[in-house]
Amino acid sequence: MIKHIPNILTFSRLVLTLVFLVMILYAPKYYANGEIAFPGFLDYAFIIFIISGVTDVLDGMAARRFNVVSKLGRMLDPLVDKVLVCGAFICFAIIGEPKLFNLDKTTLSIIQWSVFAILTTREAYVTILRHIAEAKGINFQATKSGKFKMFVQAFAIGTVIIKMAHVQTAAWANWFTTIVFLVMIVSTVYSGLRATQRKSWQEAKNA
């Protein structure tokens, strides 16, 4: 039973992630034209998001504590991360968030869908590399740049949620969100480019 704890936590995180994404899609029903803050509903969504993040930490700790790191876990854990990140940003794009400054709807839509496209392209690219490497029996676990990228992406998701719920039109919130998004995009692109330079990928290519 103990050896299954990390994967159970990962599956639990997947369920929480799906609930969180549904709540984002339903969020616009709880406020008028995106102009009135609605802390209650999104605060609950934010709590679910935090719990999901905690399970991510716990499953890694459990895997190392009980020495049950598996190929399934190495594949499943980053996959759930991608469902969370890509799912969150496509949901944001669908509902038209985040709103930044006084940009018109078309400009905002281009920004929102471009962010989603960049993140999804990177995740799909690295996932393909990981599957190729793991299929050849080579460990393609997360690197420091990948972990930092994931942290910034999660921080960006939380930033959008808090902005939507509490500070939709505040100037400082617009600037803060913009800066977080820029850091996220840079770290996402950088970690994607670094993937092909990893020793494990070089070994996979030559295997």
Q: What is the pLDDT of residue 116?
A: 95
pLDDT digits (tens, 9 = 90+) for 103-125: 999 999 999 999 999 999 988 88
Evaluate if residue 152 carries a pLDDT over 60.
yes
- Percent pLDDT > 70 in the chain is 73
CA distance 157 to 86: 10
pLDDT digits (tens, 9 = 90+) for 17-52: 999 999 999 887 665 454 556 677 888 999 999 998
Query: Which tokens belong to 7?
Result: 């994967």
Nearest to 3 by CA among 71, 67, 79, 77: 67
CA distance 190 to 202: 18
Q: Do you find a cis peptide bond into 98, omega within 30 degrees of 0?
A: yes
As a whole number, mean pLDDT of residues 88-97 equals 94
The residue written with tokens 């499943």 in the block is 76
Task: Give Cβ neighbours of residue 44 (< 8 Å, ≥ 6 apart).
Answer: 23
Task: Give Cβ neighbours of residue 49 (< 8 Å, ≥ 6 apart).
Answer: 20, 157, 158, 161
